[in-house]
Every structure is written in structure tokens, then in C-alpha cells.
Amino acid sequence: MAESKQTPEEALAEQEFHEDGTVILRTHELINSRFSGDLDELKDGYAKVSLITNEDMRADTYGLVHGGFVFCAADYAAMAAVNEPNVVLASSTSTFLSPVRVGDQVIFEAKVRHKDGRKREVVVTGSVLEIKVYEANFKTVILDKHVLKLDLMNASKDN
């Protein structure tokens, strides 16, 4: 089934805005920014998240940050770029291009690249001082209701 193309004006009309004209975050609003980063910018299909790595992320005596924290912030950026209340991660592929150290600020930019019905494909890059340290492709799905409210045990019986 072909997806109907939405004009930029129609997409903007679906967004909710603050009084200052910025888009309101509609997902992951209770996430802990200490581990997932701060949402610095949010537009239709785009999010920018900054993560300042800290001692709790340290993996060794050299100050290497565990990649799970990098992934966490990238995932948050992807979810924010989709910006739907019931968006969930379906799959991802990640490439860690360079190590991240305690004290680094990693800037993640997420862009929705493809929409197919309820599916979204989001490309995320992470940089430290303009050096790309991470890139990923996230595949997400927008559900009718919160994933924890779904009755997964009986879902197949309804079909």
C-alpha cells in the first residue's frame, strides 16, 4: 500500500508547540538526562542531543566510556526525532568509530530518513569536537498504545 505524501505544512500542523515556537517533546519525557543526554533542539523529523560523559560511565582506568551510554543517548535522539508518544525501537545497527572518554561532550544528531506507515528509519551521528565517533541506523515503530499496555500474550489470538 502506497503511503500518502505529507507536505511540510501538514507535518508541522500535527506538531505541538511551546509559546516560543519550539516543538514539544511527546515521548521519553521522563528520561534521565545524566545518562541519555539533554535535548538541545527538536524539529519535525530532527533532534539534537548532547551528552556530557561522566564518571558513572567509566569502563576502565583510562577513562574509556562504555559504549552502552553512547548508544543510549543515540537512541534517545532517534526517539525524539520521531517524536510520537508510543514509538519503540525495532532494530538498530551501530558503528563505534572512535573511543569516547569521561568528560567528553558527544553531540548526537538524529534525522528521520524514511517513513513507511507506522515505521520510521532514523539516521544518527555522534561527534566529539566535530569528529564523528558514532553512527547508526535505527528502525522504529509507532504503536497504537504504550508498549507496556499491549496484551502480547493474546495478540495472536485476535488475528
Q: What residue ranges define each of the domains in the chain, with the CATH number in brackets?
A: 17-158 (3.10.129.10)
For residue 106, the number of C-alpha atoms closer than 13 Å in the C-beta half-sphere is 33
Which pLDDT score, from 0 to 100, does residue 20 have? 56
Q: What is the pLDDT of residue 26?
A: 86
pLDDT recorded at residue 2: 43
- Per-residue model confidence as pLDDT tens digits over 51-89: 999 999 999 999 999 999 999 999 999 999 999 999 999
In 3D space, the residue among 75, 72, 37, 35 whose CA is nearest the CA of residue 56 turns out to be 35
pLDDT exceeds cutoff 70 at 141: yes
Q: How far is CA 64 from each of CA 6, 67, 75, 99, 100, rounded to the nearest angstrom?
A: 44, 9, 20, 7, 6
89-131: pLDDT as tens digits: 999 999 999 999 999 999 999 999 999 999 999 999 999 999 9
**Average model confidence (pLDDT) across the chain:** 87
Which tops the pLDDT comparison, 79 or 9?
Answer: 79
Q: What's the rounded mean pLDDT across residues 146-159?
A: 68
**What pLDDT does 1 receive?**
39
